[in-house]
Amino acid sequence: MKEEIVQYFNKITSYLKSDISALNFCDDKGKDVGCGPFLLTTCSGIANLGEILFPDVTRDEPRFTNYIKKYLGQVEAIYKRNNVDKFIYKHIRCGQVHEGIVKSGVLIGKKLDRTYHLVSLLIDGCKGNVKKIIYFNPKLFADDFIKSLKFCEKDLKNTDALQNVSIFLKQRYDLHENDLDKYRPELDEKKMDYNNFGSLYESASSTPYFPGGMYLKEDFWKELI
């Protein structure tokens, strides 16, 4: 049981590492991808792993904030500070995911280094007014997330809740399968030779920049149960 769950964890994290590596590759080559892809990829990774590592927590927000404080906090102490986890969830993650922009009072960017990451900037305004803006670097956030994965894996190998994790994953898989049957769209059909499909299936990847990632096969879930 333990090995199957660790294998699942490694598969998910390989996709996340591949996507973030692709974003960094583009940036390094002078093809700026902006802040959103770094932020959204990292937040989706935290949401996914939060479900696995905190299976007894039923709401998205505490799973997300638990992950930031427990695992990102082992990478950089700033994530352990009071309300930092909730601030990232409410003002950065929620704004980007639901509205396409971060919320008021936050500036996200990749220009300023770690000296300014999650720091309150006091901006001198006209007529002596001073405005406080919190700066957030999503590229550093993504890098910190990748570094946090080793702490997740360590906990996952030693956890006493592996049975709960396996039950959770099985339930989520069944739920998604039922949703597909219930909301299956009306689309044109194409017949495909099994051998050709197998080749396509094996080469499918989470990112076009780093091909070769493999999707989880159905028989893997049979081993997990």
At 83, the amino acid letter reads: N
- Report pTM: 0.76
Domain boundaries, the chain: 2-160
Torsions phi, psi for 31 (to 5 deg): -105, 85
Q: Which residue has the higher pLDDT, 168 or 40?
A: 40
Residues of the chain with pLDDT > 90: what percent? 27
Burial of 128 from C-beta contacts in 10 A (0-12 / 13-18 / 19+): exposed
Q: Which residue has the higher pLDDT, 18 or 173?
A: 18
- Cβ count near 195 (within 10 Å): 8
Which tens digit of pLDDT belongs to each residue from 101-147? 777 788 888 988 999 999 998 887 666 677 888 999 999 999 999 99
Q: Which residue has the higher pLDDT, 71 or 211?
A: 71
210 has a pLDDT exceeding 60: no
Name the token pair of 132.
């406080």
215 has a pLDDT exceeding 70: no
Whole-Å CA distances, 176 to 21, 28, 56, 152: 28, 37, 20, 25
Torsions phi, psi for 99 (to 5 deg): -120, -10
> Once rounded to an integer, what is the mean pLDDT over residues 140-162?
84
